[in-house]
């Protein structure tokens, strides 16, 4: 299947309309055994990959709904190069693709900001692909904050100590340096780096990412529980997948009844593509 999304090339210079903020999801081709591996078990590798697809669809749908006013654009910062067609049936056709480059979290995040600014975006938000229930107003708030005069960092903290979104108008490499990635110290260290360079930090609502058994159960409780959460995005693709999976396989493997009300956060940073 051919790629259906426009590919952005930083080497080509200005490629987007002026004045737009990029809402860019960091994403890896959803192949079984290569994504959401910390969810296996309780999921099988194909189930984990399918759930990752649902996360991407819901995150993209939330972004698309949030940018309806035209002040932002949806982008997928993807890896690996050559797998562009993997997102053909996942992301809205209005989304654009830009290739990730670099090794490690810091380099990939730095280059994503650099490349998105190079193609003409006036601001950039990098978003993880593990938080399908981030509410629309969080994305809208991020865009609004980056539209205001003055330089700032926008941070969407996860309750495990990481973040699901980081936004800026200019590339500030320092906020990605000397960070203990994959720990509960990520968001705090990011704020400390911003303070070092005198960069104001604006915080979005705290959300959570789904990257292990405990947070999968929490997601089930929010989407399928007797009293589902109402503050977050309802993640219909994810909800339908989990409902169907438990109908076929039984509830206990995915969401044991004695864990139905478990909402305890873990202390892991959202899984970004390697």
Give the contacts of 53 (CB within 8 A, at least 6 positions apart): 30, 90, 237
Instruction: Return the closest-CA partner of residue 272 out of 179, 198, 145.
Output: 179
pLDDT value at position 146?
Answer: 97
**Strand pairing partners for 6?**
96
* Rounded distance between C-alpha atoms, residue 127 and residue 163, angstroms: 9
DSSP state of 19: T
Residue 158 lies in a domain: yes
pLDDT value at position 272?
Answer: 38
pLDDT value at position 26?
Answer: 98
How does DSSP assign 76-137, residue by residue? EEEESTT-GGGGTTTS-TT-EEEE--SSHHHHHHHHHHHHHHHTT-SEEEEE-SS-TT--HH
* Rounded distance between C-alpha atoms, residue 54 and residue 66, angstroms: 18
Instruction: In the chain, count H helices and then E strands.
Output: 6, 8
> How far, rounded to the nearest angstrom, does the alpha carbon of residue 214 sit from its chain's CA centroid?
19
Residue 176 lies in a domain: yes
Averages of pLDDT over each 10 residues, the chain, 274 residues: 85 91 97 95 96 98 88 96 95 96 94 98 97 96 96 97 98 97 96 98 97 95 78 94 95 83 39 37
Residue 192 lies in a domain: yes
Q: Where are the alpha helices (DSSP H) in the chain?
A: 45-66, 104-118, 136-147, 186-196, 213-224, 236-249
Residue 267 lies in a domain: no
DSSP reduced 3-state for 72: strand
Q: Which domain holds residue 119?
A: 6-203
pLDDT value at position 179?
Answer: 97
Q: What is the pLDDT of residues 205-240, one digit of tens each?
A: 999 999 999 999 999 999 998 765 657 899 999 999
Residue 245 lies in a domain: no
How many domains is the chain partitioned into structurally? 1
Distances in Å between the alpha carbon of 151 and those of 138, 168, 170, 244? 19, 8, 8, 46
Residue 249 lies in a domain: no
The CB-based long-range contact list for 182-187 (8 Å cut-off, 24+ gap) reads: 182/268, 182/269, 183/267, 183/268, 183/269, 184/160, 184/267, 184/268, 184/269, 185/161, 186/161, 186/162, 186/269, 187/155, 187/157, 187/158, 187/161, 187/162, 187/163
DSSP reduced 3-state for 181: coil
Question: Using only C-alpha atoms, what is the Rg of the chain?
Answer: 18
Phi, psi of 243 (to 5 degrees): -60, -45
Give the contacts of 249 (CB within 8 A, at least 6 positions apart): none
pTM of the model: 0.92
Domain CATH number, residue 148:
3.90.550.10
Residue 127 lies in a domain: yes
Residue 226 lies in a domain: no
pLDDT value at position 13?
Answer: 86
């Amino acid at each position: 299947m051919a790629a259906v999304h426009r590919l952005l090339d930083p080497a080509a210079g200005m490629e987007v309309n002026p004045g737009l903020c990029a809402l860019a999801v960091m994403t890896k081709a959803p192949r079984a055994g290569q994504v959401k591996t910390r969810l296996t078990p309780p999921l099988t590798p194909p189930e984990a990959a399918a759930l990752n697809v649902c996360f991407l669809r819901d995150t993209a749908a939330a972004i698309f709904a949030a940018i309806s006013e035209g002040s932002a654009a949806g982008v997928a910062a993807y890896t690996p190069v050559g797998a562009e067609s993997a997102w053909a049936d996942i992301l809205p056709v209005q989304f654009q693709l830009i290739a990730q480059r670099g090794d490690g979290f810091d380099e990939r995040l730095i280059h994503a900001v650099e490349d998105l600014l190079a193609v003409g975006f006036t601001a950039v938000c990098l978003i993880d692909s593990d938080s399908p229930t981030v509410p629309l107003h969080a994305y809208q708030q991020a865009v609004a904050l980056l539209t205001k005069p003055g330089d700032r960092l926008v941070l969407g903290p996860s309750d495990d100590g990481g973040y699901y979104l980081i936004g800026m108008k200019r590339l500030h490499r320092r906020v990605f340096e000397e960070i203990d990635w994959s720990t509960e110290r990520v968001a705090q260290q990011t704020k400390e780096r911003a303070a070092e360079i005198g960069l104001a930090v604006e915080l979005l609502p705290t959300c959570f990412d789904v990257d292990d058994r405990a947070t999968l159960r929490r997601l089930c409780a929010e989407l399928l529980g007797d009293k589902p959460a109402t503050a977050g995005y309802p993640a219909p693709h994810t909800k339908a997948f989990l409902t169907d999976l438990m109908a076929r396989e039984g509830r206990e493997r995915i969401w044991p009844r004695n864990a139905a009300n478990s909402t305890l956060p873990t202390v892991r940073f959202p899984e970004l593509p390697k």
